[in-house]
Structure 1
Amino acid sequence: MSQYTPAWPHSDIKQVFPDIFYVTGTNITQYDGITLQHSRNMTIIRNQDKLSLVNTIRLTEDGLKQLASLGKIENVIRIGSFHGRDDAFYIDKHDAKLWALPGMEHANGREADYDLTPDGLKPFNNCEVVTFNSSRFPEAVLRINQNDGILITCDSIKNWLGKDEFFNDSTAVLYEAQKLFGTAAINKIWLEATQVEKSELLALGKLKFRHLLSAHGEPLINDAYDYVIRTLSSFR
């Protein structure tokens, strides 16, 4: 049996900014005996001909060929504790280096090649790391100093506007009932799991950004800061 997650259906890789791409795919998990199937995104940052993958998704052979046409996979970047199931595929098969937050647990007891910290080395240029130090499970956001600021998140801020082609019907109904859909949303399930302090969420309003690329949902272009501030207003 393969130690890697299967390559489930996904979209083509799409360019959203110069040297920044994303791909949307399928995630299937079991929780309390329920099968959940929803969408997730991987963001790809190109620095010259080197690629950094954030919130990894294992791609099909066709997808890997499209990825290879962009450059060589150099880094895997893990910014959320509840993601990372596909990190090992790129580390093992493509000799990528793992950047992760201190304290994260990785599959098969592997260790990160580099700690991802606000003051430490960065995997690519123009990258800022913002950590939620109060979180019970390590989580961070990345800010890229490009196109007036691009915020990359994992589970902290999602932009699921509704069911998409990678959801199954039962999961979509459940998530609707749990109010997990919304623009630049911070949901109660993530908050209860992580216990992130409100002050750290509100500090996101001090960052300069215009766009949001989340691990979940559509890219939020141009108006991301305004929508995030609107979401944060409920925590004041």
Structure 2
Amino acid sequence: MTTFKEAMPHGPIQEVFDDVFFVTGTMKNEFFGSMWQFSRNMVVVRDGKDLTIVNSVRLDDAGLEELNRLGQVKNVVRIGDMHGVDDPFYVDRYGAKFWALPDMKPQAGLKIDQALVEGGEMPFSGCSLFVFKTVQRPECILRLDREGGIMIACDSLQNWVEPDEFFDETTVPTMQNMNFFVQANLGLAWLHESKPQAEDFVRLKEVSFKHALCGHGYPLRDVAQEEYHKTFKKYFNV
């Protein structure tokens, strides 16, 4: 019998845009030699009656009942190499199609059913793909052609402005001291692990969008493009 990671504390499923849902949960992992507990986000996109899970976070039984009321889970999409621990649970439970960049290594027991390729097939309508080309760990962003452009990111774009209820008390001061809590930031652990280069952000500036739903932090509405462009300038002078 396959064993999956247990569900950890999480919040409610919120409809942040029409047919776009957002839920914040918990992550525990080792970074820089110590254990951290912090929040992470899952996005669910509804296309007709079909649901696509991006940045999977395992829900408890009540959360799964709520998810089932939204529609039928058809796709699970991994867009960041540092996430994915809960992908096997959703693929197994719903018989969902698993999407990822071709050079990602899936969690144990998974295989990539459909590779994410720029200009190729997408898991739902009105979706396009941006792929980071210079990184040492695969990462991409989905752009939804809705509401003026919604970016669904994993670790590359973040919007942690403050610690929330899913942090533990020992992690908060560490992350405060390292400047994690900044609006429209880039993922600091991602920068350290993946070492992206400026040319990726030159290309990313050519993508038009208004909003961002990231793997960490709050939804960023209306001003996402201008705020992230300031961040690209800060880090890469582009």
TM-score class normalised by the smaller sequence? over 0.9
Residue 86 (1) aligns with residue 93 (2): no
Residue 52 of structure 2: SS of its match in structure 1?
A: strand
Cα shift readout 1:169-200 (whole Å, capped 9, x = no counterpart): 11111111111111110144322311211110
2-structure distance, mates of 1:33, 1:205: 34
Q: CA deviation at 1:49?
A: 0.5
- Between stretches 137-146 and 27-36, larger displacement belongs to 27-36
2-structure distance, mates of 1:42, 1:32: 24
Q: CA deviation at 1:215?
A: 0.5
**How many percent identity over aligned positions?**
38
Residue 99 of structure 2: SS of its match in structure 1?
A: strand
Cα shift readout 1:89-148 (whole Å, capped 9, x = no counterpart): 001111111000011111225310000111211100010100001111110011100000
Residue 169 of structure 1: SS of its match in structure 2?
A: coil
Task: Give the TM-score normalised by the residue count of structure 1.
Answer: 0.96
Residue 77 (1) aligns with residue 65 (2): no
Contact 2:175-2:181 at 8 Å conserved across structures: yes
Give 1:124's aligned residue: 124
Q: CA deviation at 1:68?
A: 0.4
**Number of residue pairs aligned between Structure 1 and Structure 2:** 236
1-structure distance, mates of 2:107, 2:5: 12
| TM-align CA RMSD | 1.4
Unaligned runs of 5+ in 1: none
Alignment of 1:170-185 (within 5 A): 170-185=170-185
2-structure distance, mates of 1:200, 1:36: 29
Give 2:17's aligned residue: 17
Q: CA deviation at 1:225?
A: 0.8
Residue 107 of structure 1: SS of its match in structure 2?
A: coil
2-structure distance, mates of 1:28, 1:2: 21
Which residue identity lines up with residue 174 of structure 2 in the other structure? L
Give 1:204's aligned residue: 204
Residue 160 of structure 1: SS of its match in structure 2?
A: coil
Task: Give the TM-score normalised by the residue count of structure 2.
Answer: 0.95
Residue 101 (1) aligns with residue 94 (2): no
Q: CA deviation at 1:162?
A: 1.2
- Between stretches 181-190 and 166-175, larger displacement belongs to 181-190
- Between stretches 74-83 and 194-203, larger displacement belongs to 194-203
Are the structure 2 counterparts of residues 31 and 197 from structure 1 closer, same or farther at C-alpha, using a change threshold of 3 Å?
closer
Unaligned runs of 5+ in 2: none
Runs of 4+ in 1 over 4 A off after TM superposition: none
